[in-house]
Amino acid sequence: MTTQTLPQALTSIEDYLEGEQRGDTKHEFLAGQVVAMVGATRSHALIAGSLHAALLPAARRKGCQLFMADMKVRIDHADESYFYYPDVVLSCATADKHPLYTALPCLIVEVLSPSTERIDTREKLFAYRLLPSLREYLLLRQDCVQADLYQLSNEGRWQHTVFTQADEMLALRCLDVAVSLHDVYADVPELLA
């Protein structure tokens, strides 16, 4: 005998945003469905923090805003809206000033976790690339030194490059800056050994 589950009532964007302001738990919003997020590990937080620290001076020089963990990204597509919380997000668009989310990011970074890797490498890879402002999507592993960088070429095609050596440089076009994987993983030295 199969059991049918009742569909979850859809939540409005306004109710979702209000709930995120009041609640202690972060949630993502997927076309009306609200999904609770899991917490991060120490390695996850250290890797995201190191990248944020490495990029912040360049972001300030360019007049961009760099956010870590608590800024939502809004995606509107085919009459549906989605809100995600990337680990690091960069916006250089002067019109991108909503107090609760960014809708015009140039760079989005996710640190992969076992529980989110499939979503980050498939669902979010597809969803984020729907943003017309996005130029780069960076995925960082937390169990080894590895970066997967997706960059939009001048011809409008997404190119994927994998970096696995600590001395390799991530050339991030949004900020015209290069960051070594060693600097990204510096606070997790067991991965550099």
Q: Per-residue pLDDT tens for 145-165?
A: 999 999 999 999 999 999 999
Amino acid at 183: D
Give the containing element (helix H, strand E) for 128: helix 124-128
CB under 8 Å to 113, separation ≥6 — which residues? 38, 40, 41, 44, 142
Note whether 46 and 188 are within 8 A (CB): yes
- pLDDT tens profile 16-39: 999 999 988 899 999 999 998 888
Question: What mean pLDDT comes out for the span 104-123?
Answer: 94
Q: Is pLDDT at 182 greater than 70 in this prediction?
A: yes
- The pLDDT confidence band at residue 7, using thresholds 50, 70 and 90, is low
Q: Is pLDDT at 101 greater than 70 in this prediction?
A: yes
The reported pTM is 0.92
CB under 8 Å to 81, separation ≥6 — which residues? 13, 29, 31, 74, 75
